[in-house]
A and B are shown apart, each in its own frame.
Chain A
Amino acid sequence: MRKAELLMAVVMGLFSTYLMWKSAELPIGWIPDEGPGGGAFPFWLAAGMLICCLWIIVRWVRRSSTVSASADQYMDAATLRMFFLVAGALTVMIGLIHVVGVYVSIPLFMLFYMRYMGGHRWLPTGVIAVATPIVTFFFFEISLKITLPKGLTEPLFYPLYDIFF
């Protein structure tokens, strides 16, 4: 817990510094007859973030916040495994959307999650993995007229477009 607390405060502190530097691309001071510059609002807020991070670190040193005084593990092995599996599967799914589109990557994700993580039987897994993209297609593409990314599989949808549009 203590390590994680310090690491998060330091990372967020660095991030606030980056934000301050980035905000300073626009004027951060007072422009006569115009009011505060465009960068002033984010600059001072990012400065506030930095101060909070320093404050968190001070409290960490003095062990005065509940987390920094806690001896619990931040993540045990099982949690860590779950976290990497789920976050990894999500990353792969979103990455695949760029290549093969939602209608291939969503069923793959569902198959992985239900079969591997959930240990469900093939039948319910298959039904849900197939039904989800179909419902998605009718809801988003047909009712809302929002085209979802299809990547390489785009040509396969031309006949469907002909039917529905």
Chain B
Amino acid sequence: MEILDHLMQGFAIAFQPLNLGLVIFGCALGLFIGAMPGLGSVNGVAILLPMTFLVPPTGAIIFLAAIYYGAMYGGAISSIMLGIPGASTAVATTFDGRPMALQGLADKALITAATASFIGGTISVILFTLFAPPLAAVALAFGAAEEFALMMLAFATFIGLGGDDIPKTLFSIFIGLVFSAVGLDIISGQPRLVFGDIPGFLHGINFLVLAIGIYGIGEMLWTIESSKGDVKISQATVTVRRIIDDLRTLKDTFKSIVMGSILGYFVGILPAAGATPGSLMAYGVAKTISKHPESFGKGNPEGVAAPESANNAASTGSMLPMLTLGIPGSPTTAILLGGMVIWGLEPGPMLFIEHQEFVWGLIASLYVANVFSLLINVAFIPAFIWVLRLPFTVLAPIIFVLCIVGGYAPTQDMHDVWLILIFGVVGYLMRKLEYPLAPAVLAIVLGPLAETSMRQALLISNGSFLTFFERPISGPIMAAAMVLFLLPILKLVKDKFWSRAAT
């Protein structure tokens, strides 16, 4: 029952007035961010990370994790009310949420989404609590070769499972890794890739610069372009009586919620997958196992419950590899991981030994964040609907200013602000050409760790690359990574073969 002891300690930390306040504020802010079309958890966390220097690291990560959760709840609000997903993670929620709203059942859809999110979040946090300590204990035995193999596996998931154009995905990974190499060479200490001898490059390219550029400036440009034209907001009648009635009929969706939670959690662990595919998969499975698959897409509450439970569960799932292995399970956790480095914490299994209060405070606050997200969500439905009416031309300049001032704050160098602008603009242009950008953000966070572990492992093995394949743990991981790398090629060959056989 060691886990329970730790969890109790964690709750003691989570209930400290400052941390509790941060959870509540983070949930409310996250709901707001999630509800705004175009902004999701990753944008909120990237833009607000610099603001967390105000509080100690434990408080900071609790706050950011609360935003992460809140945004997952909030995404459903605009999916249902506007028919536009509040974040990519809530795309599947529009399929049945929007028809429900059009039938005058917006309140029921919102309550279903909130409850499903709560159950999904809670089930996944319990799974997280049970899985994390043993996984961290195993990971303690990992050396440099294993670490490198794990990072290869993380990148391989983007190739094998990401579903984007393969050369573009690879390009995104490579460019992220190259940018992470700018600055001083970690082993020899020589300056490296200092473009045009500009001194600003000597301290390297901070991952936040890329993250704020892509998820702040780039995302806003994208949203401004795609949000042209008017949108119609559905009406929602919310009374206590209707809420109670809605809650009573929820038990019909229970099966979908539990399925979505478990599926979402495991999909969330994979770096390339995460909340968006998790929720889409949960929607698909809910439809398949339902007795009335034909009612999906026409306003079936199960079609709201399954993806909403899955996206919350996936956000918890993506924290598992982040905390135990030091490999982020999603772009949002990649930014959290980078934040941990700024706060002076070394990500990975040692956290569970050296910074117990940090780890367990975070885990306990996830339970708390779930409860508050549910309460705030249900209590303030009218307020969030009002938020959707806020014109984007008010919000956009405020977010731009936040990006610029927030980007300046960590290094206090205007050089970084210019880089943010360049990354934002180029990132937007590349995104229009279907270059996936999440791999680049993951790569710039993991780059320094990947290079160190690779060079250390090679030093130990006297330069033999076979070390990654020969060691008992890193061998199978590398093999799995290779399979994922080759998966699309195998598929290509198979398709060619079939098309030839067909003609």
Interface residues of A (CB under 8 A from B): 1, 4-5, 8, 12, 19, 22-23, 25-26, 30, 34-39, 41-42, 45-46, 48-49, 52-53, 55-56, 59, 65-67, 74-75, 78-79, 82-83, 86-87, 90-91, 93-94, 97-98, 102, 106, 109-110, 113-114, 117-120, 124, 128, 132, 136, 139-140, 143-144, 146-149
Residues of chain A within 8 A (CB-CB) of B409 are: 140, 144, 146
Residues of chain B within 8 A (CB-CB) of A75 are: 432
Q: How far is the CA of A77 from the CA of B177 in the complex (A)?
A: 35
Interface residues of B (CB under 8 A from A): 51, 53-54, 165, 167-168, 170-171, 174-175, 177-178, 181, 185, 187-188, 190, 192-193, 195, 217, 220-221, 224-225, 228, 391, 393-394, 396-398, 400-401, 404-405, 408-409, 412, 414, 417-418, 421, 425, 428-430, 432-435, 451, 454-455, 458-459, 463
B435 to chain A: closest residue by CB? A8
Which of B171, B175, B455 is the one whose CB lies under 8 Å from A56? B171
**Min CB distance, B220 to chain A, in Å?**
8
B192 near A55 with CB under 8 A, answer no
B194 to chain A: closest residue by CB? A22
Q: How far is the CA of A35 from the CA of B177 in the complex (A)?
A: 19
Given contacts A106-B401, A118-B393, A146 and B221 within 8 Å (CB-CB): no
A56 near B225 with CB under 8 A, answer no
Residues of chain A within 8 A (CB-CB) of B398 are: 110, 128, 132
**Min CB distance, A93 to chain B, in Å?**
7
Given contacts A8-B430, A26-B190, A90-B217, A41 and B181 within 8 Å (CB-CB): yes
Q: When A and B form their complex, which 6 residue pairs have the shortest distance between CB atoms, in order from nearest?
A: A118-B393, A38-B185, A52-B171, A113-B397, A55-B167, A42-B181
A1 to chain B: closest residue by CB? B433
Which of A34, A42, A53, A90 is the one whose CB lies under 8 Å from B193? A42
Given contacts A26-B185, A26-B192, A8 and B418 within 8 Å (CB-CB): no
A82 near B417 with CB under 8 A, answer no
Q: How far is the CA of A115 from the CA of B428 in the complex (A)?
A: 25
**Min CB distance, A66 to chain B, in Å?**
7
Interface contacts (Cβ under 8 Å), in number, total 164
**Min CB distance, A2 to chain B, in Å?**
10
A40 to chain B: closest residue by CB? B455
Given contacts A42-B181, A144-B54, A149 and B414 within 8 Å (CB-CB): yes
Which of A12, A93, A147 is the one whose CB lies under 8 Å from B404? A93
A97 near B417 with CB under 8 A, answer yes
A83 near B393 with CB under 8 A, answer no
A143 near B393 with CB under 8 A, answer no
B430 to chain A: closest residue by CB? A8
Q: How far is the CA of A103 from the CA of B100 in the complex (A)?
A: 47
A109 to chain B: closest residue by CB? B397
Q: How far is the CA of A11 from the CA of B177 in the complex (A)?
A: 19
Q: How far is the CA of A39 from the CA of B181 in the complex (A)?
A: 9
Q: How far is the CA of A36 from the CA of B483 in the complex (A)?
A: 27
Residues of chain B within 8 A (CB-CB) of A34 are: 459
Residues of chain B within 8 A (CB-CB) of A117 are: 393
Given contacts A4-B433, A106-B401, A56 and B168 within 8 Å (CB-CB): yes
**Min CB distance, B457 to chain A, in Å?**
10
B167 near A66 with CB under 8 A, answer no
Can you show 11 pairs from A to B with CB atoms below 8 A apart?
A19-B193, A37-B188, A45-B178, A49-B178, A52-B167, A66-B434, A90-B421, A106-B405, A117-B393, A119-B393, A146-B409
B391 near A120 with CB under 8 A, answer yes
A48 near B170 with CB under 8 A, answer yes
**Min CB distance, A60 to chain B, in Å?**
10
**Min CB distance, A76 to chain B, in Å?**
10
Q: How far is the CA of A60 from the CA of B300 in the complex (A)?
A: 42
Q: How far is the CA of A93 from the CA of B217 in the complex (A)?
A: 14
A37 to chain B: closest residue by CB? B188
A59 near B190 with CB under 8 A, answer no
Given contacts A19-B178, A86-B224, A128 and B394 within 8 Å (CB-CB): yes
**Min CB distance, A25 to chain B, in Å?**
8
Which of B54, B168, B177, B458 is the one whose CB lies under 8 Å from A45? B177
Q: How far is the CA of A144 from the CA of B136 in the complex (A)?
A: 34
Given contacts A82-B225, A140-B405, A143-B54, A5 and B400 within 8 Å (CB-CB): no
Given contacts A52-B167, A90-B400, A36 and B455 within 8 Å (CB-CB): yes
Q: How far is the CA of A53 from the CA of B195 in the complex (A)?
A: 21
Q: How far is the CA of A97 from the CA of B416 in the complex (A)?
A: 13
**Min CB distance, A86 to chain B, in Å?**
6
Residues of chain B within 8 A (CB-CB) of A35 are: 187, 455, 458-459, 463
Which of B181, B400, B435 is the one whose CB lies under 8 Å from A109? B400
**Min CB distance, A142 to chain B, in Å?**
11
Q: How far is the CA of A120 from the CA of B397 in the complex (A)?
A: 13
B167 near A59 with CB under 8 A, answer yes
**Min CB distance, B493 to chain A, in Å?**
15
Residues of chain A within 8 A (CB-CB) of B171 are: 12, 49, 52-53, 56
**Min CB distance, A73 to chain B, in Å?**
11
Residues of chain B within 8 A (CB-CB) of A55 are: 167
Extra pairs beyond A38-B192, A118-B391, A120-B391 (10, CB < 8 Å): A4-B433, A22-B193, A26-B192, A42-B177, A53-B171, A59-B167, A66-B165, A86-B224, A113-B400, A114-B393
